[in-house]
């Protein structure tokens, strides 16, 4: 018992882990307030925004107008802006009904928990992947291993797809 208490006495929460925990809590709260359909659209928005940001050409016209301090987080800013824009575009599109995700009142709570967890993880992993390399040495070991390593990024991306497939199959069985 004293070993467990000593473990918690030496535990310090790093800033990056604190931000990720906050993001997980925010996505869970948002997911429970809007339901599975909109949270599923948020997942698709993150996928689309990540792909678009990854293939976005470095436009010298835009980056020349910005201060040097903003240049390093240009990709992260574009990614977050695209997530919000694409979410609102997808919410009014045909994809809304083809996903097969239930409305807020139709879904089961544990489906929403799984989907929210995957979205928060993939969103965190995507933002960290787009952040400049010079900040990677400031991240905690836990954050680097679970969100930044190549296999971790791949795992979070695949987890989103598998979750959508799993939720669609459990809906058909019910």
**Backbone region of residue 158 per phi and psi (left: phi > 0; alpha: psi in -120 to 50; beta: other values):** alpha
3-state helix, strand, coil in the chain (%, to 5): 80, 0, 20
Taking Cα atoms as reference points, which of 125, 131, 157, 156 lies closest to residue 143?
125
Kindly tell me if the per-residue pLDDT of 6 is higher than 70.
no
Q: What is the mean pLDDT of residues 147-156?
A: 90
Q: Please state the pTM of the whole predicted model.
A: 0.78
The beta strand positions in 106-171, using DSSP E, are none
Name the more confident of 55 and 6. Answer: 55
Give pLDDT, residue 63.
Answer: 64
- Match 């599923």 to its residue by tokens: 40
pLDDT band per the 50, 70, 90 thresholds, residue 173 = low
Count of C-beta atoms within a 10 Å radius of residue 171: 16
Q: What is the pLDDT of residues 29-65, one digit of tens each?
A: 988 888 888 888 899 999 999 999 888 776 556 666 7
CB proximity list for 125: less than 8 A, separation 6 or greater = 147, 148, 152, 153, 156, 157
Average pLDDT over all residues of the chain = 80
Give pLDDT, residue 15.
Answer: 81
Q: What is the pLDDT of residues 90-135, one digit of tens each?
A: 877 655 555 555 554 556 788 888 999 999 999 999 998 888 788 8
Give pLDDT, residue 132.
Answer: 79
- Rounded to whole angstroms, the Cα distance separating 139 from 10 reads 18
- Structural domain boundaries of the chain? 16-56+65-173
């Amino acid at each position: 018992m004293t070993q467990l208490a000593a473990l918690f006495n030496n535990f310090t929460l790093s800033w990056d882990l604190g931000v990720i925990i906050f993001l997980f809590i925010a996505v869970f709260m948002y997911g429970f307030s809007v339901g599975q359909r909109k949270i599923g659209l948020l997942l698709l928005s993150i996928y689309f925004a990540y792909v678009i940001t990854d293939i976005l050409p470095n436009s010298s016209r835009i980056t020349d107008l910005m201060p040097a301090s903003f240049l390093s987080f240009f990709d992260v800013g574009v990614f977050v802006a695209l997530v919000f824009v694409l979410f609102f575009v997808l919410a009014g599109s045909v994809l809304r009904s083809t996903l097969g995700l239930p409305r807020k009142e139709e879904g089961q709570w544990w489906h929403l928990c799984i989907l929210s967890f995957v979205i928060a993880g993939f969103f965190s992993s995507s933002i960290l992947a787009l952040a400049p390399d010079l900040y990677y040495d400031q991240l905690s070991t836990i954050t680097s291993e679970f969100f930044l390593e190549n296999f971790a990024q791949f795992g979070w991306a695949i987890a989103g797809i598998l979750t959508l497939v799993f939720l669609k199959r459990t809906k058909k069985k019910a």
